[in-house]
Structure 1
Amino acid sequence: MFQIFSRGPHGTERSPWQVTRSVWYAMFMREAISRTMTDRMGWFWMIAEPMIFTLIMVGIRGFIRGDRLIVGAEFIPWMIVGLMGFFVVREGMTRGLGAIEANQALFAYRQVQPVDSVLVRNFLEVMLRTLIFLLFIVGAMMLGMDLTPDKALYAMWDWFALWCLGLGLGLVVSVAGSLVPEVGKIVRMINMPLLILSGVIFPLNNLPHWLLEYVMYNPILHGLELLRASFFEGYKVVHGTSALYYWWWALGTMALGLLMHMRFRDRLKAK
């Protein structure tokens, strides 16, 4: 399965990029088969998880009327967009935790590096999440609900930006979690608090100013607000939302994660 040797089938030398591309393709196919075929319910749960969560929150909305707190957007589409965006970041971060251990046997090939496993796994995850999001958009249209983005190009850019943050966090925690197992437990514990503090379920505009100042340190909140602004033209983002702050976090985590992989490459391979 792995055509990753430095020479091609006819004995010709291959460039480093050709070798890397072969590694990524082989690992991508391996991850895709493992992710979608080994579990008979894998596809079902990828679609059912956000759907069930949305239905639960719609039921809760009947009691608290959260849609009255949102200006310029319907509550259900607003929450679906937030959920899809949050899942991209969350899965990018959590999938990075087990990427190195799951591909440990492949590091016997000198062409395969630990960072490759994280990059490939995150790329596969964003492909699956994008497909699921498109299915939600089509399903919403069939139900007469407007879930199409008002600014499609901006929406695609903001979706890519959320993936970049998930990738950066995944690179960092993949190294930290491999070297210090307790990191994985902490990352899984903070998923639910992050869901709430990122404004996925309820709008944060009505929070007291002193509390909102601290919540705005969360970069995921900025990414989700920018994504929602791309989908709903009249939506009023939380005061203080900044694309620059968000990209500092996304690029900073990616740079830090790559540096950590370079620094601890040998230790990761030897685990």
Structure 2
Amino acid sequence: MREILTRYGRHNIGFAWLFGEPMLFTVGVMALWSLFHDVGAAHHISAPAFALTGYSTVLLWRNTIGRCTLAVQPNTALLYHRFVRGTDLFLARIILEVAGATMSLVVLMLFFMTLGVIPAPHDVLTMLFGWGLLAWYSAAMGMLIGGLSECSELIERLWHPVAYFQLPISGAMAFAEWLPERLRNVIMYFPVPNCVELFREGYFGDTFTPHYDIPYTVTVIVILTWLGLVMMRYVSKRVEPE
């Protein structure tokens, strides 16, 4: 609750910015994509739906990881409370970002489905599975990058350009089947496009051929989670008062 009040304040729409801000970004990207990318005509895919399912995934991993950088430094005073630990500061930000991106996706999808702009999802359970895997990856990387940034501010400065460089290989801008085979094989070593392909399979169904490897993706995320928890333990011991 304190994180919400600190970030969004008590005035105007307050905590509604939690999902209002991602919604504004997503609608803007959808409008631009629909105007300048004739995806629907070329691949029988709805351009607004393609943009919505793509940019929403970008907001999920980019915002969740980015918000975890330097999460402790501005909140060190809270660590003097008995029941507040360093890990709680990261978890609060992770929960807020995942919740905000999820609410934005759900509200926009229902809104545009009602207007008839986009079709209904093909398999909601598969979508939830893909979204859940991506949220798990985002949380794991958030803990890892956030913990490293508390050790060196250089990590926080480097993460932002790295995040932009990751956009072309995130799977948000193109289906994996549209890519040359050699490039696709390299890109699919990253967990994010695997999650996005699974998520989009749930939405678009058999209108495209998805490429993903769930056992491999889960294994990588488990390793990242372990590394993130190790960093959380190290940071907690380093910053929490005796």
| Number of the residue aligned with 1:199 | 171
Matched residue, 1:132: 104
Displacement of 1:38 in angstroms is: 5.7
Name the CA shift for 1:202/1:37 in 2 (closer, same or farther; >3 Å).
same
TM-score, normalised to structure 1, is: 0.79
**Secondary structure class of the residue paired with 2:84:** coil
Q: CA deviation at 1:211?
A: 2.0
Q: Which residue of 2 aligns with 1:251?
A: 222
Structure 1 residue 89: Cα displacement = 1.2
Give 3-state SS (helix, strand or coil) of 2:72's partner: helix
| Equivalence for 1:52 | 28
Of residues 172, 175, 199 in structure 1, which corresponds to 2:147?
Answer: 175
Q: Distance in 2 between matches of 1:196 and 1:48?
A: 22
- Residue 135 of structure 1 and its aligned partner are, at CA, apart by 1.4
8 A Cα contact 1:86 1:224, kept in partner: no
Q: Measure how far apart 1:90 and its partner are.
A: 1.3
Alignment of 1:1-271 (within 5 A): 29-37=1-9, 43=17, 44-61=20-37, 65-68=38-41, 70=43, 73-239=45-211, 241-269=212-240
Q: Kindly tell me the number of residue pairs found equivalent between the two proteins.
A: 237
Label 1:102 to 1:205 Cα distance change in 2 as closer, same or farther (>3 A). Answer: same
40-49 or 215-224: which moved more? Answer: 40-49
Q: Deviations over 1:78-112 (max 9, x none)?
A: 22112112211111111111322232111112432
Query: SS at the partner of 1:127?
Result: helix
Q: How has the CA–CA distance of structure 1 residues 211 and 157 changed in structure 2, closer, same or farther, with 3 Å as cutoff?
A: closer
User: What is the CA distance between 1:120 and its match in structure 2?
Assistant: 1.6
- Are 2:31 and 2:48, in contact at CA under 8 Å, matched by a contact in 1? no
* Structure holding more helix per residue: 2
Q: Do the aligned residues in 1 keep the contact of 2:131 with 2:199 (CA within 8 Å)?
A: yes
User: What's the offset of the Cα at 1:55?
Assistant: 1.5
Instruction: Supply the AA of the counterpart residue of 1:244.
Output: P
Counterpart Cα distance in 2 of 1:100 and 1:235: 45
Shift of the alpha carbon at 1:67?
Answer: 3.5
Q: Structure 2: how far apart are the matches of 1:147 and 1:37?
A: 36
Q: Retained in 1: the 8 A contact 2:22–2:59?
A: no
Which stretch of the first structure deviates more once superposed, 202-211 or 180-189? 202-211
Distance of 1:103 and 1:69 partners within structure 2: 50
The letter for the 2-side match of 1:54 is M
TM-score normalised by length of structure 2: 0.88
Q: Aligned AA for 1:269?
A: E
Letter of the 2:240 partner, please give it.
K
How has the CA–CA distance of structure 1 residues 123 and 187 changed in structure 2, closer, same or farther, with 3 Å as cutoff? Answer: same
Equivalent pair of 2:79/2:240 in contact (CA under 8 Å): yes
* Gap change, CA 1:220 and 1:237, over 3 Å in 2: farther
The structure 1 segments of at least 4 consecutive aligned residues displaced by more than 6 Å after TM superposition are: none
Is this contact kept in 2: 1:137–1:147, CA < 8 A? no
- Report Cα offsets for 1:53-76 as digits up to 9, x if no partner: 221222221xxx3335546x4232
Residue 226 (structure 1) shift: 0.3
Larger Rg: 1
Shift in Å, 1:77? 0.5
Gaps of 5+ in 2: none
